[in-house]
Structure 1
Amino acid sequence: MHLLIRRRKVVKKKVSECVLLILNYKFVNKFTFKQIVFLLSLGALLTLAYHPFDLFFIIPISLTSLLLYLDSKKGLKQKFIAGVIFGYGHFLSSLYWIMYSLLTDFSGFWWMIPFVLILIPLVIALFIGLLVIAAQYFNYHRIAYVLGFSALWVIFEFLRSFLIFPFPWNLLGYTVLSLENVSQFASVVGVYGLSFVVCALGTCVYSRNIKYILAVFMCYLAISSFGYMRLKDAKVEYIEDYTLRLVQPNLTEHHMGDPEKQSRDFLKLIKLSLKDLKENTITIWPEASFPYILHEGSTFKTLLAEIISKNGFLITGADWLEPDKESGKWNLYNSIVTLNKQGKVISVYKKILLVPFGEYIPLRKYFPDFVEKVAYGIGDFNSGKQFKTTRISENLPAILNLICYESIFTHIPYAYQGQDFGLMLNITNDAWFGNSIGPYQHYTMARMRAIEYNTPLIRVAKHGITGVIDQFGRVLAELEINNEGFLNTNVPKKTLQSSFYLLYYHISAIWIAILTFLLICAKRRFK
């Protein structure tokens, strides 16, 4: 006990030192209090361009103001600090909701709150600071500067998404989901390509070049026209052989192993699943909703079979336990388990990309023993090894599985290339993040996957947002946050061919690299 208290004091001391470093006057010299507040506000303003606010017009205001402010600072150090402060304002205001997950067990995770509110936004903000420094190389001409800034924005988005830990959250391209026509361009260039488009549009006024500004707007209109033509005669078709029942139990409080709460949650799922149940129904439960551990010998399979309709199936998020084939050690997986009417498990998809500190502790041996993952359970989850689709019937397309935060990775559906999938299923538990903006942001990222890959998406969330999304990213039906209930729907049909983005996945990276190279070469002309 004394050792635990001593370790917590050490952690608290380190956090305090980090705060003092950030607030050290020498670190932000030549920045007045008003300037710091101004930069933080500009960064926070950019958050309003994302869902649920969807104020797209904010982007030119925020980014152009940043570039104008950078002109007033001399020296790379001052520009770097300005970029970091701007980035910190943006990422603090858009990622504050991570803290909510720690409040579920405040006594166990209180010490992590300073890390969430200070360290995580600050580390990601460093990439904005580095972006600002790198962009100065192209500051030999205003047009080159804004083009270079836009290209580097995408490059540093990718770096901050994967370099430290995998977290490609709130990429700038997601802001176009409020513009239905423009968002269709994701089927060509993906979300990273859209980030370039949005950044170029948001900074073009800074160039003060009328011809360039008109050219950018003409490109924007061309992209919007492409989306208009794509949606003009787009109709939704359904596969009517089966009915999907998407169950949203609105479980906002995790059972944390309490038998009474486990029983309560299970009974609620059963009640919602059996109400007016008809045959040929595929019932889908969200991530972490089944409150017990499942395995091949589980007696729960017989019980679950009783709530499956005639000729139907149950697809549920569950903790799946199975022995390792080589070592014999039992491994626990966050999984999607599919059962038929006979209670037989016909498919298990094991989550591959796990949430750092949420589902496992990275570099576990370097952390003290009292550091535990946020999600309930003994020990860390194991990571699945294989991206595989689920085929439950010849009358239905193969299902591409995405558990929770796997839906924010644009490359995962590409990893399924070669497997014929016609539907994406995303089950999630966003209840950790309460009524914050986090669940709304997560929802829009899942919608983007549908557009990128021309594939309908079914999303089932523990407390919202549950939705049916067509291959154009349009919402066909949804259950909002904090609503208990279910959606009955037929399976949206995929009628489009494989998207250009799926076939030529690396195209955005290639043309951004070419543009950057041309800007570097062009610099010689202006020397």
Structure 2
Amino acid sequence: MERLAGRVILLSGWRRALVGFLAGALAAFSQPPYDFFAVCFVSFPVLVWLLDGSAGEPGQGAIRRSLPAFMIGWWFGFGYFAAGLWWTGNALLVEAELFAWALPLAIFGLPALLALFYGAATLLARALWSDDICRIAALAFAFGLAEWVRATVLTGFPWNAIGYAAMPVPVLMQSVRVAGLFGMSALAVFVFAMPALLASRRHRRLGLGLALLLAAAHAGYGFWRMGTAEAATGTLDVRIVQPSISQSEKWDASIRDRIFRTYLDLSARPPEAGMPRPELILWPETSVPFLLTQRPGALPALGDLVGEGQVLLAGAIRVEGPESTARYYNSVVAIDAAGEIYDATDKVHLVPFGEYLPFQALFERIGLRQLAQSVSAFSSGSQRHAITMPGGTAGLPFICYEIIFPGVAGFGDADADFLINVTNDAWFGDTPGPYQHFRQAQVRAVEAGRPLVRAANNGISGVVDAYGRVVDAFAINAVGVLDAALPIQRVEGRVLAGPSANGAAVLAVLALAALAARLLAGSRGRKSHKRM
């Protein structure tokens, strides 16, 4: 191990960049649908050794001395995001004649931008670097902080945070209730990077012992929570409609009536033997293929579908104002048996380039426009709120990738009995994207302590309980209706101070350990210099 570490430390130039890129790309296999988290026990020790060898040349300016550490993290991040997010380019092939030219921007440009966060993380870690176990703490703190920043800056994009690698199954998702996603990301890096200590004798036993202790606590807490899981106080009978409409057909004006009829026919199917009549019928994001205000017969048809004591929640585009100044919203509308929209909630967190064009004037000059062209750019909703069902239970809707943001469905939503996620993953086909999206929705359910019902145009639709366990689900590209009993569970109360505060505490402890070791090393160095 010492020989391998030495070779990695001494790498330079393109060889160093290549090893960083490959280490990051390997780490991407820890995410769904692969869930091979063991690769991180290779990727992160290699990253530590690369940083060990990244000290700048004496006499150089601060920027030139810092550049090697930054570039190691950037190459690691570029490999990680290129291997984990290549599928985003699939959305550009839906209308290839218009967007195929931008494919390199999705496959390489987005990973290159996201890699800046990991470059900043390794730069910060190197500033706190030491020659012992505390350099692992520095790296873990820096990555946890980087994941928080990545979820915040420029509206945020926390997809595939490192912490998800430590949560491949429900029993291992429970710790997110304690540490939050950013704390989990920091602790995951701390444990994954610990084998780097095998290359030296210093702190080897301490480091491996700490890693084993944290891993055991992580798994043990999960088993304890699952073993003491609160029973459901009731159920809500739901019907999820998954039509698998091709994205290339979704807004084709010539077949919109046929698409609408497909939804109506699927929704009207009688329940399977032994299944009760659904109380909630759930359609995916933008499932209504036209503006309801432009089709006078649509709402009466939906009213005929919905019976007494039922409600239909459908993804639809909602418009406000006269045509010249109209504002369009990506919404979930609630329709009752009278064929009336009795409630609606709008998407608050829009997808850049998908639903609106940032720096619109600039990008339109070079021929770039938003991907979703059903209407003009969407407007952002002002506030999310729960929608009450006929039986009195309330569901909190999240549209598409809103569900990936940690903390959005937290303890502040005490009026919500369950979470709702509607999405249209048809943009990405049968790629890792829909699997990753579903996993992040699972973790939000655990975080919030609320069950989740999810409708996707072409998968993965399903029902998840408050502990992340899948009650039932549809595979990608399946067509039909999924009838299931959504268990109503309200896992109340904060664990310690709550996931966000606890995550900050985890980062603070790691940062203090790294800073103390750095200051101590500096003090020793000055004393040694004086003796000389």
Q: How has the CA–CA distance of structure 1 residues 152 and 469 changed in structure 2, closer, same or farther, with 3 Å as cutoff?
A: same
Residue 61 of structure 1, aligned match among 24, 37, 42: 42
What's the CA shift for 1:335?
A: 0.4
Q: How has the CA–CA distance of structure 1 residues 323 and 200 changed in structure 2, closer, same or farther, with 3 Å as cutoff?
A: same
Residue 371 of structure 2, aligned match among 369, 374, 382: 374
The answer to whether the 8 Å contact 2:250/2:289 transfers is no
Q: How does 1:33-432 map to 2 (within 5 A)?
A: 34-75=15-56, 76-208=66-198, 209-234=204-229, 237=232, 239-240=234-235, 242-255=236-249, 257-276=251-270, 279=277, 281-295=279-293, 298-323=296-321, 329-368=325-364, 370-393=367-390, 395-414=391-410, 417=412, 419-432=414-427
What's the CA shift for 1:464?
A: 0.2
The answer to whether the 8 Å contact 1:427/1:461 transfers is yes
Q: Hey, what's the Cα distance between the residues in 2 that align with 1:400 and 1:131? A: 34
TM (normalized to structure 1)? 0.88
CA RMSD of aligned residues (A): 2.3
Q: How has the CA–CA distance of structure 1 residues 339 and 464 changed in structure 2, closer, same or farther, with 3 Å as cutoff?
A: same
What's the CA shift for 1:35?
A: 4.5
The answer to whether the 8 Å contact 1:43/1:89 transfers is yes
Q: What is the identity, as a one-letter code, of the residue corresponding to 2:46?
A: S
Secondary structure at the counterpart of residue 509 of structure 1 = helix
The answer to whether the 8 Å contact 2:454/2:463 transfers is yes
Q: What is the identity, as a one-letter code, of the residue corresponding to 2:445?
A: A
Secondary structure at the counterpart of residue 229 of structure 1 = helix
Secondary structure at the counterpart of residue 262 of structure 2 = helix
Residue 31 of structure 1, aligned match among 13, 16, 36: 13
What's the CA shift for 1:143?
A: 1.1
Please give the per-residue CA displacement for 1:8-34, whole angstroms capped at 9, x wherever unaligned. xxxxxxxxxxxxxxxxxxxxx9523x5
Secondary structure at the counterpart of residue 96 of structure 1 = helix
Equivalent pairs counted in the alignment come to: 493
The answer to whether the 8 Å contact 1:239/1:490 transfers is no
Q: How has the CA–CA distance of structure 1 residues 418 and 44 changed in structure 2, closer, same or farther, with 3 Å as cutoff?
A: closer
Q: Hey, what's the Cα distance between the residues in 2 that align with 1:486 and 1:235? A: 29
Q: What is the identity, as a one-letter code, of the residue corresponding to 1:323?
A: G
What's the CA shift for 1:374?
A: 0.4
What's the CA shift for 1:392?
A: 2.2
Residue 460 of structure 2, aligned match among 458, 462, 465: 465
The answer to whether the 8 Å contact 1:187/1:501 transfers is no
When structure 1 is superposed on structure 2, of 222-231 and 176-185 the one drifting more is 176-185
Q: Hey, what's the Cα distance between the residues in 2 that align with 1:371 and 1:223? A: 46
TM (normalized to structure 2)? 0.87
Aligned to 1:512: 507
Q: What is the identity, as a one-letter code, of the residue corresponding to 1:104?
A: V
The answer to whether the 8 Å contact 1:279/1:311 transfers is no
Q: Hey, what's the Cα distance between the residues in 1 that align with 2:228 and 2:255? A: 49
When structure 1 is superposed on structure 2, of 50-59 and 82-91 the one drifting more is 82-91
Q: Hey, what's the Cα distance between the residues in 2 that align with 1:177 and 1:165? A: 25
Q: Hey, what's the Cα distance between the residues in 2 that align with 1:302 and 1:157? A: 47
Q: Hey, what's the Cα distance between the residues in 1 that align with 2:34 and 2:396? A: 30
Q: What is the identity, as a one-letter code, of the residue corresponding to 1:146?
A: I
Aligned to 2:61: none
Give ranges in structure 1 of 5+ residues lacking alignment: 1-28
Give ranges in structure 2 of 5+ residues lacking alignment: 1-10, 57-65, 199-203, 524-532
Secondary structure at the counterpart of residue 481 of structure 2 = strand
Q: How has the CA–CA distance of structure 1 residues 458 and 256 changed in structure 2, closer, same or farther, with 3 Å as cutoff?
A: closer
Q: How has the CA–CA distance of structure 1 residues 125 and 141 changed in structure 2, closer, same or farther, with 3 Å as cutoff?
A: same
When structure 1 is superposed on structure 2, of 487-496 and 333-342 the one drifting more is 487-496
The answer to whether the 8 Å contact 1:392/1:398 transfers is yes
Q: Hey, what's the Cα distance between the residues in 2 that align with 1:141 and 1:282? A: 58
